Amino acid sequence: MVIAEEVDRATLAIAILDDHPAWREFQAQSLKRAGFGRIETMPANPSLFVRRFGEKSREFASLVFGLRVDSEVSWENLRVLRGCYSGPIIVASPQREVLSVADKIREIGAEDVLVLDETDPEAIELKIETVLMTHRIGKVLEENDLRTQRLFVNILTVMVKILESKDPYTKLHSHQVVKWSRMIGRRRGLSDEALTRLGLAAVFHDFGKVGVPEDILNKPSGLSNDEFALMKQHPAIAKNILGSLDQLADILPAIHHHHERWAGGGYPEGLKGEQIPLWARIIGLADAYDTMSSRRTYKEPFPKERIIDELIKASGKQFDPELVAILLELIEEQR
């Protein structure tokens, strides 16, 4: 089942409405780097937006609105903006208090809320990606049985939130695993429909961690054998929970087998080579790559040269050599 059409970022236009020029510029630069095709910036003023774009406001895939939580005028502007634009609106603010009024923001009809942080320029890109994906899914589903399908989207959203609340790294990590899985998958020749499903599998690849005790999840290193045995349950836990949703049946094998090893000896079933589903091989590789590339409490990000060495060493052992070759190409191109 196709639940969302693939869209090329370069064709998307985003408007950033924020009264602070520095934050406008910060977001615009982040989105340009992330490959969005057109970014318009202006003060957080809905009348100005309508005057400038009028009918053409429909060309925007999403708006980002800079809310000042303590300003009644700013709240009113958000309401007016909601009334004159029908696509998804993301509310962004450097004030952390924005999280405590997230329910009120959603009641007004904005899709999501983001705390701006100058040390985390990718956050805006990831938020837009998620909102657009949910919105696209919602749009496709509206043509079907509206109530059932809305329920399905809500269930997915709830599940993503449960997962993200479990451990602080999961949120950014699963976004990165989605991004790299899709890049590897695209180069490997997967169709747009398959890439959408692969992306969904990548979002949920570690969902089973909801069933692993938090003290084990957050332990920096040195798990005992018993603790590691519990940790290794997470693919099976995910299969068990997500298996309750028929709509996810096609992505379960990718989630269940993302810790198998190309040469065998992985878990949960010790599959080898092409016995391991392709999507699971892709996600396993993207997962390892992002873990090496990012900071954890117990380690700094590895330098690129070391990552490349590790990938070459693990090619044909832990990972499918064809996929490693693709990833190395992609890393090279990003430099």
* Catalytic residue (one of 56, 179, 209, 313): 209
Count of residues for the chain? Answer: 335
Provide the minimum distance between the beta carbon of 188 and Fe ion in the complex, in angstroms, as a whole number.
21
Min separation Cβ 166 and Fe ion, Å: 13
Nearer to Fe ion, 18 or 206 (CB): 206
How many Cα atoms sit within 13 Å of 250 on the Cβ side?
Answer: 12
Please count the residues of this chain forming the interface with Fe ion, following the rule CB under 5 A: 1
> Which residue, 111 or 287, has its beta carbon nearer to Fe ion?
287
Nearer to Fe ion, 39 or 177 (CB): 177
Question: What phi, psi does 16 have (nearest 5°)?
Answer: -110, 115
CB of 236: closest distance to Fe ion in angstroms? 11
Nearest to 39, CA basis, from 54, 59, 20: 59
CB 3 within 8 A of CB 137: yes
Residue 260 binds Fe ion, judged by CB under 5 A: no
- Considering only residues 230 to 259 of the shown chain, the ones binding Fe ion according to CB under 5 A are none
Distance CA 212, CA 188 (A): 33
Of 206, 260, 290, 320, the one binding Fe ion by CB under 5 A: 206
Contacts with 272 (C-beta within 8 Å, 6 or more apart), sequence order: 260, 261, 262, 263, 264
What mask of x and - would describe binding to Fe ion in positions 153 to 192, judged by CB under 5 A? ----------------------------------------
Burial code (b: 16+ CB inside 10 Å, e: under 16) for 268-302 equals: eeebeeeebbbbbbbbbbbbbbbbbeeeeeeeeee
Q: Give the separation between CA 112 and CA 129, rounded to whole angstroms.
A: 11
Q: Does 290 bind Fe ion (CB under 5 A)?
A: no
Shortest reach from residue 1's CB to Fe ion, in Å: 25
Is 209 among the residues known to form the active site? yes
Q: Minimum Å distance from CB 232 to Fe ion?
A: 9
* Cα three-residue angle 296-224-252, rounded to 5 degrees: 70
Question: Minimum distance from CB of 287 to Fe ion (Å)?
Answer: 6
CB nearer to Fe ion: pick between 233 and 247: 233
Tabulate helix, strand, coil % of the chain (nearest 5): 60, 10, 30
CA-CA distance, 189 to 182, in Å (whole number)? Answer: 10
- The DSSP 8-state label assigned to residue 281 in this structure reads H
Residue in 54, 116, 120, 55 with CA at minimum distance from that of residue 90: 116
Q: How far apart are CA 24 and CA 21, in angstroms?
A: 5
Indicate which residues carry an active-site annotation.
209
Q: Which residues bind Fe ion (CB under 5 A)?
A: 206
